[in-house]
Every structure is written in structure tokens, then in C-alpha cells.
Amino acid sequence: MLLAIDVGNTNSVFALYDGTSWISQWRLATDASRTADDYAVWFKQLCEIHNIVIGKVTGCIVSTVVPQAIFNFRNFARRYLSVEPFFIGEPDVKLGVDIRIKRPEQAGADRLVNAVGAHVAYKGPLIVIDSGTATTFDVVGADGGFEGGIICPGINLSMRALHDAAAQLPRIAIQKPETVIGGDTLSAMQSGVFWGYVSLIDGLVQRIKAEYGGQMTVIATGGIASLFEGASETIDHYDFDVTIRGLLEIYQRTTKAPLND
């Protein structure tokens, strides 16, 4: 089995692939101070709940935007899984992606993995929207090349900033409001955040398409993307396996070895 780990700024996703399909996915709050022992206790307990034998894990690949977490994830894989983990960005990991930006070393691991995962499943030029701590719009060429994109504050980050900076504005939950015009402070904030982000998504997608030229398929992924389902006019597919699919593809390109249960 392969353990694929996607470490974001807010949450980390652990996913297990048995050689045929993804059998389990679990989410954990990202904390760079969490030790290898902490991960082991948490992971082992979840495996036991789902009747998964931890000793069957034969590979591990990690994408992280939190460099401080690398040391503990490496120790976790070595000590408790008895495997040497691969990390996106290390020289021996074969992305198989042509990075067509001025500073290729600045491309985030998560964005490159998403480019691979999206290209595996969809044809033609793509726009991949990943909604998390930040909202990223990445352009993937028809041949899978990473061609750059846009980075915006995530919806939760914007909402937190609004609450922190304005003394009389409360912290609110993100949800689709019943009307665009808010009748009170709460509904006005909900409308501003929700419809503001829908407009941001649709507006930026239209601008990317106009600049890039031609038809492009738009894929939304990330923990918050489902909020916009049915509201955005430009998103073609909601696909929450883009990142782990990319990690699986990169692992197979790197090792060229079959995964057995």
C-alpha cells in the first residue's frame, strides 16, 4: 500500500492506496511541532478502526508547504512504517512536469502535484482552482506543463481578517446566503464573503481564458471548493482527489514499481 500525505498550511490529508483504489482518507490539523510519535499514535489508531494492517504500507510520498514538518514526517515513515519517504521537490522525485515559469524553484509543491493530478484525469489546457488557506489558480498546458497562475487569500483567511480588523464585525460561519442583499450585519457579511469569492473565481477564470486563448477545462479542488458548487458559472468539475491522484502518479513515475496490498 501507498501512504500519500498532503501537508497544507491548515490541514494535512493522509490517504491510503491499495494498488487498485483509495481505501481511506483522513484529515489532521497541520501542526509543525507534532512529533513522529504523535503521527504514529494517531495513524495506528485510525488503521485499527478501519481494520487496516499498518505493516502493509510499502511506500510513502509527501507533498508539504510547511518545511518545518519535513523532519517529523520523515522520522514517522522511517520508524513506524519502515519505508523511506519521497518528498516533492527532492532531486530523486520525478514530477514529469515541464515548469514554464521564470523561477521554477518557487513553484509550490502542492501546485505542481495538482498539475500532475489534473492532467492525468482531464484533457486539454486546464485551470486548477485549489481552495484552502490560499486560493490558487494554476494553468496546466495540454501536455501537462505547469504554466503559472494566481495566488489569492483563502476565503477563511479573508473572513478572519475582516473580523480581526473591524471591532464590530463578528466571526461568522461560511455559507451561501439566501439573498445577495443582506438585511442585517450577519447576512451582509455572508453575502460579501460568499458571493465575493464566487465573483472572484468566475472573474479570474474569465480573465485567464481571455489571456491564454482557446477553450480551457476548469477543475475545482480543496477542502472549501464544495461551497461553490452550483454557484460558480465557470467551474466544470469538482474533483477532491486531484492532489492524491497527483501524488500517486509521481510515486509511480519515480519508483516504476507496482503497489501491492
pLDDT tens sequence across 90-115: 999 999 889 999 998 888 899 999 99
Asked if pLDDT for residue 159 goes beyond 70, the answer is yes
Distance of CA 159 to the CA centre of its chain: 20
Distance, CA of 35 to CA of 260 (rounded, Å): 28
Q: CATH 3.30.420.40 occupies which residues in the chain? A: 2-87, 104-108+123-241
Edge-to-edge strands of the sheet including 146-153? 146-153, 134-140, 126-131, 217-221, 237-238
At 62, is the pLDDT very low, low, confident or very high (cuts 50, 70, 90)? very high
CATH class of 104-108+123-241: alpha beta
Distance, CA of 210 to CA of 233 (rounded, Å): 16
Asked if pLDDT for residue 258 goes beyond 70, the answer is no
Q: Phi, psi (5° rounding) for residue 131?
A: -100, 110
Catalytic residue list contains 31: no
Instruction: Specify the pairing of strand 22-29 against strand 134-140.
Output: unpaired
Distance, CA of 59 to CA of 85 (rounded, Å): 7
For domain 2-87, the question of CATH label 3.30.420.40 is answered with yes
Q: Could you count the other beta carbons within 10 Å of the beta carbon of residue 193?
A: 19
Largest CA distance in the chain: 59
Tell me the pLDDT of the chain averaged across its residues: 91
Which among 110, 130, 202, 239 is annotated as catalytic? 110
Q: Are 13 and 26 in contact (CB under 8 A)?
A: yes
